[in-house]
């Protein structure tokens, strides 16, 4: 039996395939329009962020970048959800039963996903209240590090060792931000009891003035050194507390350089940086007398060496 393509094609009912083809074409157009709309809106957000960033400076620029990323993330979610609902309606699936079922399921899932919902609510308020920005150095949930990324779900931190931590927003109860507006570089200086504190303070101010005059640190140090005074009396030293007011995130570098220069100045002036002292007693007699052991204990010479 010979097969005829012409006869087979003539037997096909093209009218039956007309509507499915149109529906498929509309679905393709819906998905394409959603993709173009998402790309266009996200590009518009980026352009607005770039334009506004030119008028901003300092911390405001980092906040604008953070809002820009979150806004583009939300645009993708909203446009994707609308496209999915439109496609379902196009294939003849009624949205009313789905939305009703989604409400019931949402209540059930809500009890099991309370932490997830809390993540999004907490993330929204953290962003709205400007508690964190990308580029800040913070401590949250007992973890400190540089904020690399923020979403409504979590905060990504990188600590000093290079480890990356993903902290869910629901775990953030207290935020310690070390990079907002300005910072204080605090140093506790241990000075021997025998030293003249007035002389020590003069040397400290001299070193601080030289550090601020250095062009590498002039822009980072905002004010002259503040000497708070004697913080406490330790067992082997007097602790003197001082601090610089510095630019955000410059406190560690300024402190390290200040202590390096101060060590050299103390060595040149003969000012002692003490270490803990320990006095050892051999034990007390019946009369309560307990003299300290001598610092230098001579070793007895061997008999052969003595007779030599």
CATH top-level class of 20-112 = mainly alpha
Give the model's pLDDT for residue 299. 47
pLDDT at residue 229 in the model: 92
Q: Determine contact, residues 131/62, Cβ cutoff 8 Å.
A: no
In this prediction, residue 1 carries a pLDDT of: 47
- Predicted local confidence at residue 236, as pLDDT: 84
**146: which strand partners?**
137, 158
Cα separation, 244 vs 222, in Å, equals 8
Q: What is the pLDDT of residue 72?
A: 77
Q: Which fold has domain 132-177?
A: SH3 type barrels. (2.30.30)
Query: Residue 105's pLDDT is what?
Result: 59
CB contact at 8 A, 175 and 163: no
pLDDT of residue 51: 75
The residue extents of the domains of the chain are 20-112, 132-177, 183-269
Predicted local confidence at residue 305, as pLDDT:
45
- Per-residue confidence (pLDDT) for residue 306, from 0 to 100: 45
Over the chain (308 residues), the average pLDDT of each successive run of 10 is 54 57 78 85 80 66 70 79 79 66 58 70 81 87 89 88 92 87 92 92 94 92 93 90 93 94 94 77 64 55 47
What are the angstrom distances between the C-alpha of 195 and each of 229, 261, 264, 271?
Answer: 15, 19, 17, 7
pLDDT at 206: 94
Predicted pLDDT at 298: 47
Alpha carbon distance 114, 91 (integer Å): 34
Asked whether the whole model's pTM tops 0.75, one would answer: no
The DSSP H or E segment spanning 75 is helix 59-90
DSSP letter string, 82-117: HHHHHHHHHTT--HHHHHHHHHHHHHHHHHH-HHHH
Q: How far is CA 41 from CA 34, 56, 87, in A?
A: 10, 22, 21
CATH architecture of 183-269: 2-Layer Sandwich (3.30)
């Amino acid at each position: 039996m010979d097969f005829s393509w012409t006869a087979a094609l003539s037997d096909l009912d093209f009218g039956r395939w007309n509507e499915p083809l149109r529906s498929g074409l509309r679905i393709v157009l819906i998905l394409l329009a959603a993709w173009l709309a998402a790309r266009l809106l996200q590009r518009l957000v980026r352009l607005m962020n770039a334009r506004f960033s030119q008028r901003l400076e300092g911390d405001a620029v980092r906040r604008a970048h953070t809002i820009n990323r979150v806004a583009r993330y939300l645009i993708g979610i909203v446009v994707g959800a609308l496209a999915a609902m439109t496609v379902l309606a196009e294939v003849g699936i009624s949205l009313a039963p789905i939305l009703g079922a989604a409400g019931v399921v949402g209540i059930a899932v809500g009890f099991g996903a309370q932490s997830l919902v809390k993540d999004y609510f907490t993330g929204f308020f953290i962003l709205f209240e400007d508690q964190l920005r990308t580029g800040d150095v913070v401590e949250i949930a007992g973890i400190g590090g540089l904020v690399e990324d923020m979403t409504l779900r979590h905060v990504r931190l990188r600590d000093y060792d290079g480890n990356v931590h993903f902290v869910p927003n629901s775990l953030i109860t207290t935020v310690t931000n070390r990079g907002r507006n300005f910072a204080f570089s605090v140093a506790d200086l241990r000075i021997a009891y025998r030293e003249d504190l007035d002389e020590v303070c003069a040397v400290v101010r001299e070193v601080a003035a030289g550090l601020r005059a250095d062009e590498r640190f002039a822009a980072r140090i905002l004010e002259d050194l503040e000497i708070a005074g004697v913080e406490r009396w330790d067992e082997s030293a007097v602790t003197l507390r001082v601090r610089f007011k510095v630019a955000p995130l410059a406190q560690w570098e300024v402190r390290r350089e200040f202590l390096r220069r101060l060590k050299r100045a103390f060595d040149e002036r003969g000012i002692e940086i003490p270490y803990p002292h320990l006095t050892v007693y051999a034990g007390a007699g019946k009369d309560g007398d307990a003299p300290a052991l001598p610092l230098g204990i001579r070793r007895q010479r061997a008999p052969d060496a003595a007779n030599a």
